[in-house]
Chains A and B, each alone.
Chain A
Amino acid sequence: MSSREAILNRLRTYRQPKPSQPAQAPAAASATLSIAEKVRLFTENLHAAHAEVITATQEDWTQRLLSFWRETGVHSVIYAPNTAHGQAIESAAHAYPELQLQAYEEDIETCKDRLFNHIQCGFGAAMAGIAETGTLMVKTGADEPRALSLVPPTHSLLIHAKDLYTDLPEALHQTRIETALPTNLLLISGPSKTADIQQTLAYGAHGPKRLVVVLIVAEESDHV
């Protein structure tokens, strides 16, 4: 008998009868907040997790991000070229001529050295955000490579306020993500960190030391 069968047989033989009461209290419906409230909470939680937030509009976000990079000395950025946000930053990049924008076009095997040793920042977008925890939901794939948000020391991430949800159950439910789970779905809440040495918090353990979230709000009233 294979190990598989042996294990399953044992489990079937000794299983306990199903619990008689309903097994799970229905999850409390999450209180849905207004966009402005979600923006406030989301920003607050990201700050608490040591992330930086740039609140911008659809018109000025590229300029604001470019200025941020310039001011913080980021001059090499990798991005996904086949995305709307990638193309937007590409066409705005002339405002920062020293910037080396590199498209993530090759397989990691080819660009690994560059990615690990030369690129300062990865730029991508999040599909959703969770206000209650300051979390970004990133659907990786052909247009959003996994290493983009992981290897370079800074990670810049774009998100629209309309994609904010109150909490994780609401985000999972509303995005219907379970029907189309990507290779790797990520929830990111701040820059990489550790408290493994004497409970002292240190950032940039293995992933990005800096997380910069560009939050696009549609209307003045959504600003905080």
Chain B
Amino acid sequence: MSRFEPATVNLEFDKRVSDALQDQELRANFRGAMDFLVGKRAAMFPDKEDLEALRAQGEAIRNRCLSQLPELLEQFEQRCTENGIQVHWAETAQEANAIILEIMHKHDATRMVKGKSMASEEIGLNHFLADHGVECLETDMGEYIVQLADETPSHIIMPAIHKNKQQIARLFNQKIEGVEYSEDVDRLIGIGRDVLRQKFFEADVGLSGVNFAVAETGTLCLVENEGNGRMTTTIPPVHIALCGIEKVVESLQDIPPLLRLLTRSATGQAITTYFNMISSPRKPDEKDGPREVHVVLLDNGRSRIYADKQLQETLRCIRCGACMNHCPVYTRIGGHAYGTTYPGPIGQVVSPQIWGLHTAGAITKACSLNGACGEACPVKIPLADLIRRLRYESNNSEPTPVPGPRGQGSLRKRPEAITWKLWALLSRKPGLYKLVLFLATRLRALAPKHIGPWTRYRSAPRPAARSLHELAAQRSQSNASSQEHGRHE
């Protein structure tokens, strides 16, 4: 798969899934990785009660912050401005890209290093900047590997999880000048480190995501292990942080429980190597750090998600990735099969809402509604309910009172709709129901042998010779007559 184009999500979804299912190496890579991550998370939460209490706390904190979102955003903006951080607002992906490019232009900047940011993937920043002559280099090891392979991340926490070390060894050998083939992981990381160090050294601008934005203090919090996030936000003279508007929390006190939930759910760590809290650009007496810090507050559909009471639960997400690790479908098809920036259960909920059901609604099909994602989610997002709701909206042609997801009813198929209408009619008319049942059982020899995709891997269902009703009636009759018989004896 090459570049992500939102327009192709629905169109190519089935093909992507079937390609992924046939790729044995890919399936083995995912199976191993997901089992590993599930095990690590479980080890971090040995006590079920503690975990539940912490999840309830996480949910409550996120709900409280979302309920005050407009005020918190204003407060955050004000504090940042007082601290010397410049705040920008972007309603759309396009606008966010334009703001970032303008900052680059203002500094005659042509080299950007990027820390991990799913929001920047969401707005297609790399390709936009490349089109405008800006080199935009991913510096998270996983992201760097994926960028080198001209792919997109397949997991929101571990972007290169779909590749094994042999594949990465080949990639480095082919794509980085003077690098010999080596499967030694330390050696491979060392190569990445050397290449990227030079880039940090030269970069004009560093761009990062934001894990939490603290309204009370105007602080940007970043969670990471590698140090590339710190490099990105410390070494270049300008730092731009791209932050979804839902990331704001009220105060510093909200951070510890959320951080605890995030790191434990994501990678099974009690804490990550670095937790970086940035509250201003370099002060006059300081020797390093960027001289300018910008925050771009990104909406891109989030305020629309906010409008619907049920769908708003989506915005609690702290992007830990636990839902995908626990999803049996994701484990089998991997992240690229979804064709969207955000894969897995949270992707099935976020992507159709950002890009519209007409663009990305089809991925809600990749769910068995087993509920494992919702059970794993540290902030208790009822993912299966939301997926079911979006499936409904994909077929629903009635207008809704609040904005709701775009593309409602766009996946509605006439034959399917007619079938369900008939079913509803039958269920309401007992006489008709009986008649149809009678015909189906008597004419079972005429039942079709092939019914679309269902029969690609299974045999077609065939009506029984007699309906359950008939069998039950028969049995109760014969019981009655045998009892009658007994009494006479």
Q: Which residues of chain A have a CB within 8 Å of any CB of chain B? A: 2-4, 6-8, 10-19, 23-25, 27, 45, 49, 104-109, 112, 116, 132-133, 135, 140-142, 145-147, 150-151, 167-169, 172, 177-178, 181-200, 202, 204-208
Among B29, B73, B158, B230, residue most surrounded by chain A Cβ atoms (within 10 Å): B230
Whether B275 lies near A187 (C-beta < 8 A) is yes
CB contacts (< 8 Å) of A16 on chain B: these are 66-67, 309, 312
| Cα distance A135–B145 in the bound complex, in angstroms | 29
Whether A207 lies near B231 (C-beta < 8 A) is yes
The prevalent SS among residues of B at the interface is: helix
Whether A184 lies near B89 (C-beta < 8 A) is no
CB contacts (< 8 Å) of B297 on chain A: these are 7
Given that A25-B57, A183-B281 are contacting pairs, would A196 and B142 also be in contact in the complex, using a CB cutoff of 8 Å? Answer: yes
CB contacts (< 8 Å) of A200 on chain B: these are 165, 185
A and B contact pairs by CB, cutoff 8 A, 7 listed: A6-B91, A23-B67, A27-B256, A169-B253, A193-B225, A196-B159, A197-B168
Q: Does B271 contact A (CB under 8 A)?
A: yes
Stretch of B193-201, B332-340, B456-464 lying at the A interface: B193-201
**Which chain B residue lies CB-closest to A191?**
B273
Given that A186-B275, A198-B185 are contacting pairs, would A181 and B90 also be in contact in the complex, using a CB cutoff of 8 Å? Answer: no
Q: Does B235 contact A (CB under 8 A)?
A: yes
CB contacts (< 8 Å) of B33 on chain A: these are 198-199
CB contacts (< 8 Å) of B66 on chain A: these are 16
| Cα distance A190–B225 in the bound complex, in angstroms | 9
Q: Which residues of chain B have a CB within 8 Å of any CB of chain A? A: 29, 32-33, 36-37, 53, 56-57, 60-61, 63-64, 66-70, 73-74, 89-91, 95, 139-142, 145, 158-160, 163-165, 168, 185-186, 188-190, 192-193, 196-197, 200-201, 216-217, 219, 225-228, 230-231, 233-235, 237, 245, 251-253, 255-257, 259-260, 267, 270-283, 285-289, 297, 299, 303-304, 306-309, 312, 402-403
A-B contact count (CB 8 A): 249
The prevalent SS among residues of A at the interface is: loop
**Which chain A residue lies CB-closest to B285?**
A142
Could you say which of A14, A135, A184 contacts B402, with CB atoms under 8 Å apart? A14
Given A168-B256, A186-B276, 19 additional A-B pairs, CB 8 A:
A3-B95, A7-B73, A10-B306, A12-B70, A24-B61, A24-B64, A25-B60, A104-B287, A109-B237, A141-B285, A145-B286, A146-B289, A172-B255, A183-B278, A192-B227, A196-B142, A197-B168, A198-B164, A198-B185
CB contacts (< 8 Å) of B270 on chain A: these are 45, 132-133
Whether A172 lies near B256 (C-beta < 8 A) is yes
- Give the Cβ gap from B169 to chain A, nearest Cβ, in Å: 9
Whether B306 lies near A14 (C-beta < 8 A) is yes
CB contacts (< 8 Å) of B37 on chain A: these are 199
- Give the Cβ gap from B315 to chain A, nearest Cβ, in Å: 11
| Cα distance A117–B277 in the bound complex, in angstroms | 27
CB contacts (< 8 Å) of A208 on chain B: these are 227
Whether B201 lies near A112 (C-beta < 8 A) is yes
- Give the Cβ gap from A75 to chain B, nearest Cβ, in Å: 21
| Cα distance A166–B140 in the bound complex, in angstroms | 31
Could you say which of B142, B227, B279 contacts A150, with CB atoms under 8 Å apart? B227
